[in-house]
Amino acid sequence: MKAAREILARFGGSKTIQRPFVHYRTIGDEEMAAVRDVMESGILSAFVGAWHEDFEGGPRVRDLEHAAREWFGVRHAITVNSWTSGLIASVGAVGIEPGDEVIVPPWTMSATATAILHWNAIPVFADIEPETFCLDPDSVRSNLSPYTRAILSVDIFGQSADMDALQAIADDHSLELICDAAQAPGARVGSRFAGTLGDVGGYSLNYHKHIHTGEGGIVVTDDDDIADRVMLIRNHAEAVIGPKGQRELHNLLGYNFRLGELEGAIGIEQLSKLEARVASRQRAAARLSRGLSGLEGLTTPVVRDACTHVYYVYPLILDVAGLGVCRTDIVEALKAEGVPGLMAGYQNLHLLPMYQRKIAYGRGGFPWTSEICRRDVSYAPGICPVAERLHHEMFFGILLCSYEFLDEDVDLVIEAFHKVWGNLDALVPR
Ligand SMILES: *Cc1c(COP(=O)(O)O)cnc(C)c1O
């Protein structure tokens, strides 16, 4: 800790990190060649909405689905043009109806909850666990109502929620369990993968995630009926009469959620890189955790037993009361030292204007003011105290998926943290 008494960059000292880090990049020659092949074929999408041999899409899309089935060890992998589309299709496919309540954590991307509203169902926000930031099963239990129909759990930052506990609640109350593993492809839960537990789940293939096709997503399920309905919703749902006979029509409002052949071809190459990409995030995180261990008042990531974390974000918790410094001062000091990808706080969806004002569709407060909403669901500040306190005061993180974070980069980040911690008394007291 030779740097300990140097002047912080924030107060005019020299920056610990003087060079930019290399941006995270997964696209290489393999994707270039795969795209060229598709371009030469002239077939950029082969989907047909009516019942037809191409109802399930073209060769690249099907090859990606085949590869994803093998990779994740599931019966069905269904590509979609975004995971937002995948969430909408999944919530519909499990049979959520207008006025049904779906329990969801506040720490997630907006699409997790809007996918519920999309079917005129009601999101109910339950609190998160203080160390994993995933749905807290106890809070889920206390948010159950006679109208609860599903739990939509989120594997936030790259680690699975406590799916055994959530599945037990789902079994006790005949609920569907949906898993948003957008940030956690490749994370393990024992011998299985995050996203494959529960009734249906999936991953994002958006540019910012571990692997990507620009935009895209994959829905995974072992349930034949759910898979059938996701495929129908993805592709206009006109083909309700086919070799499988006539389907039950409820929730078969169909869309065009189809992935193109270019993205399919890129996705096949990307999937083959997933294991190595995840390993490089895990290597960076392990090095960080070793280097940061022992810094007073700082909690490095906690990983559940028998699970792995894929570190879309490297999450940290600050004991602000114990340190007597506020988070903003620490994060600003780290930023000034040149640490990239810092995030101070996350977000609490229930505090967004749409929920605070309870207006989703139109101006009349639909669906909350309609008779389909059978009780007064609260989004008041304070309903998720753990999530709110962490967001406002104690949580910060490093977006590990934004830069390559080579060993020498990680060492510089560690040096910056030690410099800031060696000068805590110079930061504004709380
Ligand atoms: C990225 C993300 C989504 C949305 O995925 P898109 O493919 O961008 O539509 C949903 N949930 C979570 C937790 C995400 O991180």
Own/partner contacts of 318-325, CB < 8 Å, gap of 24 or more, are 318/393, 318/394, 318/395, 318/396, 319/394, 320/393, 320/394, 320/430, 322/296, 322/297, 323/296, 323/297, 323/424, 324/429, 324/430, 325/424, 325/427, 325/428, 325/429, 325/430
Q: What is the pLDDT of residue 5?
A: 67
Q: How far is the CA of 361 from the centre of ligand 1 (A)?
A: 22
Cβ(396) – ligand 1 distance below 6 Å: no
Q: What is the pLDDT of residue 257?
A: 98
The closest-lying atom of ligand 1 relative to the alpha carbon of residue 204 is 7
The closest-lying atom of ligand 1 relative to the alpha carbon of residue 155 is 13
Contact 50, 174 (CB under 8 A): no
Q: What is the pLDDT of residue 239?
A: 87
Ligand 1, atom 2, lies closest to the CA of 182
Mutate to test the pocket of ligand 1, among 160, 206, 313 (most ligand atoms within 8 A of CB): 206
What is the percent of the chain where pLDDT is above 90?
Answer: 93
Note the pLDDT tens digit of each residue in 351-395: 999 999 999 999 999 999 999 999 999 999 999 999 999 999 999
Examine the pLDDT at 223 and tell me if it is beyond 70.
yes
Query: What is the residue-averaged pLDDT of the chain?
Result: 96
Q: What is the pLDDT of residue 219?
A: 99
Q: What is the pLDDT of residue 247?
A: 84
The closest-lying atom of ligand 1 relative to the alpha carbon of residue 215 is 7
Q: How far is the CA of 17 from the centre of ligand 1 (A)?
A: 31
4-24+275-345+388-427 folds as Aspartate Aminotransferase, domain 1 (3.90.1150)
The closest-lying atom of ligand 1 relative to the alpha carbon of residue 156 is 13
Cβ(254) – ligand 1 distance below 6 Å: no
Amino acid at 404: E
In angstroms, the CA 62 to CA 142 distance is 42
Q: How far is the CA of 108 from the centre of ligand 1 (A)?
A: 8
Note the pLDDT tens digit of each residue in 86-144: 999 999 999 999 999 999 999 999 999 999 999 999 999 999 999 999 999 999 999 99
Window from 1-10, 152-161, 193-202, 292-301 with minimum mean pLDDT = 1-10
Cβ(82) – ligand 1 distance below 6 Å: yes
In angstroms, the CA 11 to CA 333 distance is 9
Cβ(84) – ligand 1 distance below 6 Å: yes
The mean pLDDT value for 225-253 works out to: 90
Cβ(65) – ligand 1 distance below 6 Å: no
Q: How far is the CA of 247 from the centre of ligand 1 (A)?
A: 30
Tell me which CATH code domain 29-271 carries: 3.40.640.10
Examine the pLDDT at 428 and tell me if it is beyond 90.
no
Domain ranges of the chain: 4-24+275-345+388-427, 29-271
Examine the pLDDT at 44 and tell me if it is beyond 90.
yes
Q: What is the pLDDT of residue 282?
A: 98
Q: Residue 244 — pLDDT band, cuts 50, 70, 90?
A: confident
Note the pLDDT tens digit of each residue in 266-297: 999 999 999 999 999 999 999 999 999 999 99
Q: What is the pLDDT of residue 1?
A: 47
Q: What is the pLDDT of residue 429?
A: 64
Examine the pLDDT at 2 and tell me if it is beyond 90.
no
Ligand 1, atom 9, lies closest to the CA of 84
Beta-carbon-side half-sphere exposure of residue 376 (alpha carbons within 13 Å):
2
Cβ(83) – ligand 1 distance below 6 Å: yes
The mean pLDDT value for 293-309 works out to: 97
Examine the pLDDT at 231 and tell me if it is beyond 70.
yes
